[in-house]
Structure formats: C-alpha cells, structure tokens
Chains A and B, each alone.
Chain A
Amino acid sequence: MLAPDRTFARRDTALFILCLVLSVGALFAPERWQYAIASSARSTALAPLIALQRRAEASRTSLARFELLTAQRDSATVAAQSLPVLLEENNQLRALLGLAQRLPRRVIPAEVLHQSLPTDGRTLLLGAGRQSGLEPFQAVVAPEGLLGVVLTVGPTTSVVMTWAHPDFRASAVTLDGSVAGIIGVTADASVREPMLELRGVPYRDSVPVGTEVITSGLGGVYPRGLPIGTVVGVARESEGWERIYLVRPAAAPARVSHALVLPASTVWVPSPAGDSVP
C-alpha cells in the first residue's frame, strides 16, 4: 500500500497533467470551437461578473468623464451653429450633381471592458451584444479612428478583433485617394509598440511621411473614410515591386473606454446612378 504522501503526490501530478492536456487542447482547438466555448462561458458562468464590471465601468466613466463631456458638449454646440447652413449647402450641391441622399448613420455605443491579460488590446470585450443590435463583421471605431471589427456576438457581450490582432486586415487608401493598399499589424520585431503596415503599395507610388490613411470602403465591412493612422516611414520594400509603409495607428485599443459600432446599414453603397457616393 502506498504512503498517503505518495498517493497525494501522484494525484497532484495526475491533476496537473490533466489541466495541461486540456490547456494545450484548447490552444490548438479549431477557432470555431474556441469562440463557441468562450461565448458560452461569457453568457452563462461569467455573465454576473461581466454585469458587475459593466456597472463599475459605467459609474467610473460617469464620474471621470463629466468635465470632459461638458467641454465636448460646448464644442459641439458651437460647431452645431453652422451645421444648418452646411447641410443646406450640401443638399444643394448634391442636387446639382444628381447624387442620392447620404444614408443615415446609426451607431451603437458600447463600453469596453478591459481585462488583465497582456493580450488585452488584440481583442476587446464590449458590454453590448445581440440584444443591442450587434452582429459579426460590423466595424468598431473610437473617437480617434478605426478600432477593429466585431468578431463574435453573445446576447449581452461581444468580442472585437482590433487592428493589433495578427489576423486583422482592412482595405485602405491615403486621404487624397491616390494610393491604395492593405492595412495590417506589423510583424517587425524591432518595433516597440504595435504599429500598422500599409502593404501592397506599387513601387512607383511614394507616400510622404505624415500622410493620413483611411479606410477605402472596399469589401463592405468598413465604411469609407474611417481614420486608420498616419504614415511614419517606409518599413521595407521589395525592389521594383512594392513598398510597405509603417503607419502609426490613430486609435489605441488598450486605452479606449468607449467604442461605437457601425451597423451594416451604415456601409456606403453606390447610388442608382452608379456613383460611389451614398
């Protein structure tokens, strides 16, 4: 018969190995399973804890942001003074050019529930889900610019894949529309903070430092015109083929406390006349 200590040691080892095997299994499970398991946990066992965090986040921001909101409201009031004139002018120009009316832009606000893992920022947990109208593949923005895209949606929470995620891609153009490419997070090990790369720029095109990069609207996920970042230099180039530019992102996923989700209806669609303006 084994001594009690030895039996305990064997039990410890067996439990440890079991946990290790389950962890490694989870790590290499198909992505669909991973998201389904995570989503189930969030909508069942973790739901009360998420509700608690959402409440804490709401009360924190209501206290900390009061003064900031007051200042923003004042600025918005001043800006709104000239809005009727601008709208009228815009309508007249659209009528002259024969363009359709711009589609109404509806947004869904959501609180960002930050977590303690160092990978928080590649994905973000939002305190809004299906019940608020969120669906997968909706664009998510912060006041500064593009954050990412909704990845999975539960009843009251959703997960956003931000631009810092290695799988993130978006079609992008420079602000003047002259140069187009694909934006994705850089894999360059010499960069100290997560940065973006504008890939697929033809070698003959050059983009000056300081050029703003926005979403192109191609692909139907991100509406055209969302700020992505600013070009800070050439990351690398394939001689005679393409240049890859380093882009400093406009929005920092690790620091945002609120996000706006753009439902599919806000995606700009061509007008009946065939132009690309909504």
Chain B
Amino acid sequence: MSAGRASRVRFSVVMLLLVGLQFYVRPRLGNPHVAPDFLMLGLMIFAIRSRPGAAAFAGFLIGFASDALTPARFGAAMLANTLVGYAAAWGRAVFFADNLLVNAGFIAVGVWLRDLLVLMASGTGGKELAVQLGVWSPLMALSTAVAGIVVLTVFRDWLDIRLEE
C-alpha cells in the first residue's frame, strides 16, 4: 500500500470513529446541549488538512445529515456547515499556527459560529438567541475543543497534522 493511500485509510478510520462517538457515545454524555459535537469536530479536523472546496462539501454533507435528523429548519445546518467548513479550511491555510491549543480554539470557534448561523437561519432572536449563544453554545464549543485536543493528541500521526512539540 502506498504511503498516500495508507494515510487516507488511517484518516478515514479516525473520521469513522468520530461518527461512532457521535451516535453511540454522545447520548451517554449527559446534557445534549453541552456534550461534544463529534461530527463538527470531524469537520474541523477535515478542514484543517483539506482544501476549502473539499471542506465546504464535507460541511454540506454533515449539514445534510444534521438537517435530516433535526428538521426544525431544513437547510440551516447545510448552509452553516458549508460556510464554516470553507472558512475553516481557508482560515487555517492563511492564519493559524501548528499549535495544539490554537487548534482547540479554532475548533471551539467553529462550533460557536455554526450555532450562530443555524440560529440566525432559523429565525431565533432576542434573549433566547443571547442565552443560546452566551451559555449553551460556548459550553458545547468548550467540550468539543477538549475532545479535539484528545483526538489530535492521540491520533496525531494518523491525521498527518503538524503540531508543535
């Protein structure tokens, strides 16, 4: 097996693991508004090592799955994840250093931004929007970032992501 193909297989294994965590482990982690969003984490990790177009498409697919499972405003998650995926891949290429904590912050901002876009597309406003973005979204962003640190540390070699020692 060539090195490139082996790398892709390893990366796919990690992505599948995150999907499994989302649907099998996340329901056991208590409050669904605070538990880490492993699909979003997968999108952010994918965006870190991919081109913007591919990251936007991955965001679209993950958004489609989210919309199918929560059709309160069908299309809102597709739009939000597409924008976040594209912006993450583009921003990563331009701005970010190969530092674990910076990557964790990057993941947290992605989750918060996704929530902001979904809520705005769903027509949520006023104090409810403020509470959601000021309390629940930061908590989920934080838990997802912590999960991101664990995944990036454990699977650093498999993900082919350069991190400073």
Task: Name A's B-contacting residues (CB within 8 A).
Answer: 8, 11-16, 19-20, 22-29, 34-35, 37-38, 41-42, 45-46, 49-50, 52-53, 55-57, 59-60, 113-120, 122-123, 125, 152, 159, 165-166, 188-194, 254-255
- A46 contact from B68, B72, B126, Cβ within 8 A: B68
From residue 88 to 132 of chain B, which have CB atoms closer than 8 A to chain A? 115, 118-119, 121-128, 130-132
Contact A12 B82 (CB under 8 A): no
Contact A53 B27 (CB under 8 A): yes
Contact A116 B73 (CB under 8 A): no
Q: What is the interface residue range for chain B against chain A?
A: 35 or more
Tell me whether A29 and B64 are in contact in the complex, defined as CB-CB below 8 angstroms, given that A14-B53, A116-B32, A189-B125 are known contacts: no
Contact B23 A23 (CB under 8 A): no
Chain B residues contacting A53 (CB-CB under 8 Å) are 23-24, 27
CA distance A10 to B126 in the complex (A): 39
CA distance A98 to B65 in the complex (A): 55
- A and B contact pairs by CB, cutoff 8 A, 7 listed: A12-B54, A27-B75, A27-B76, A38-B67, A113-B69, A189-B125, A190-B127
Chain B residues contacting A254 (CB-CB under 8 Å) are 32-33
* Interface: B136 (CB within 8 A): yes
Tell me whether A11 and B53 are in contact in the complex, defined as CB-CB below 8 angstroms, given that A26-B75, A37-B68 are known contacts: yes
Task: Name B's A-contacting residues (CB within 8 A).
Answer: 19-20, 22-28, 31-33, 35, 37, 39-40, 51-54, 56-57, 59-60, 63-79, 82-83, 86, 115, 118-119, 121-128, 130-132, 136-137, 140
**For chains A and B in complex, what number of residue pairs have CB atoms within 8 angstroms?**
175
Contact B68 A42 (CB under 8 A): yes
CA distance A179 to B115 in the complex (A): 39
Chain B residues contacting A26 (CB-CB under 8 Å) are 64, 67, 74-75, 78
Q: Shortest Cβ distance from A165 into chain B, in angstroms? A: 7
CA distance A11 to B89 in the complex (A): 14
Contact A116 B140 (CB under 8 A): yes
